[in-house]
Chain A
Amino acid sequence: MDSLRRFLESYLSQVDGLSAILLSDRDGVGLMSAAQPECQWAVEAVVKRGLVPGFCQAAEQAGKLGVGPASAFVTNYGQMTIVLLSCQPLVVTLIGQPDCNIGAMTGLLKDRAFSEQLRRLQQVLPQESGDAAGGSGPVRV
């Protein structure tokens, strides 16, 4: 667990403006998180506000747009930018500064090491059937 946390923490310095990473299931239950000390409140706020279940609900709605299933949301909340990536059955929540590198954040699933770690977690988590939100492939940027 500590190695996974350290692995996630390594990306906080690699991606410009990235403050926190949260791995959770689709119900918003946190599996692992890594955050800069001054941004720990943001991770707690994401969990408390139910952002991940809201994302999953919205992603299911977005699947009715006619352009395929939703794989990511990029939301700008003024004081922070939050990128949610669907990696069924996981959801990756990336919390960044307003001027963070959104392209790097949405492209994180294309990082070989990061996607490999996610793949290992996906294998041990129970899969959910009949899900309309996203897939486990890389996010289109």
Chain B
Amino acid sequence: VAQLLSQTNTDGVQSSLLLSLDGALLACSGYTADTDARVLAAIAANLWDTMERCSVNGGGGGGNSSSSVGGPSSGVGAGAASSQAPAGLQDMTVVCTNGSLYIAYVSSILLCLYANATVPLGMLRLKAAKLADSLRDPISQITGK
């Protein structure tokens, strides 16, 4: 898995992580500067949870948050819909002064890409989409979701 994740760590993308929805680090590849990868995973999961709770979709309910209103989502790459997807939120990008963080839901876990300021947001999303497409089926087989 780490080798697969490392394929996106080029041209400014510094690290790629797989983490559970509760913030546990599952796999990591790359350089996370002064931040421990486990801390980065915990922060990413917290960011995801915070924004997912505020889901504003107008569709039906579902997902892992009983307080949000939203429909099932397919995550990055618009593949087969997952009945266990978080309500509404499919992916999010955090733009900071000196870098960016991209988080996407892939088959019941989160994919997180950590990049410096030189990476265009579109490229970050595209890399994540391609990586997610590669990971979706194997993860689905493992998690059974």
Contacts and interface: CB of A to CB of B under 8 A. Distances in A.
Interface of A: 41-42, 45-46, 49-51, 54-55, 57-58, 61-80, 82, 102-103, 106, 135, 139-141
B95 A78 contact: no
A67 B94 CA distance: 11
A77 B95 contact: no
Given A58-B51, A80-B57, A103-B121, A70 B35 contact: no
B43 to A, nearest CB: 6
B95 A140 contact: yes
Interface in B96-145: 96-101, 114, 116-117, 120-122
Given A79-B57, A141-B121, 15 more contacts: A45-B56, A45-B58, A49-B54, A51-B51, A51-B54, A61-B46, A66-B32, A68-B96, A68-B97, A70-B95, A71-B96, A74-B92, A76-B89, A102-B121, A103-B121
Top 9 A-B pairs, shortest CB-CB distance: A68-B97, A67-B99, A74-B93, A72-B95, A68-B98, A45-B56, A54-B54, A58-B50, A51-B54
Contact of A46 (B56, B90, B101, B117): B56
Contacts of B70: 77-78
A106 B96 CA distance: 12
B112 to A, nearest CB: 11
Contacts, number: 132
A88 to B, nearest CB: 13
Contacts of A42: 56, 58
Interface of B: 32-35, 39-40, 43, 46-47, 50-51, 53-59, 68-71, 73, 88-101, 114, 116-117, 120-122
B43 A61 contact: yes
Given A54-B54, A66-B35, A77-B55, A61 B47 contact: yes
A55 B89 CA distance: 14
Given A61-B46, A62-B101, A73 B95 contact: yes
B51 A76 contact: no
Given A62-B43, A70-B96, A78 B101 contact: no
Contact of A54 (B50, B73, B122): B50
A41 to B, nearest CB: 7
B34 A62 contact: no
A51 B54 CA distance: 5
15 contacts: A45-B56, A49-B54, A49-B56, A49-B69, A58-B51, A65-B96, A68-B99, A70-B94, A71-B96, A75-B91, A75-B92, A77-B55, A78-B71, A79-B58, A79-B88
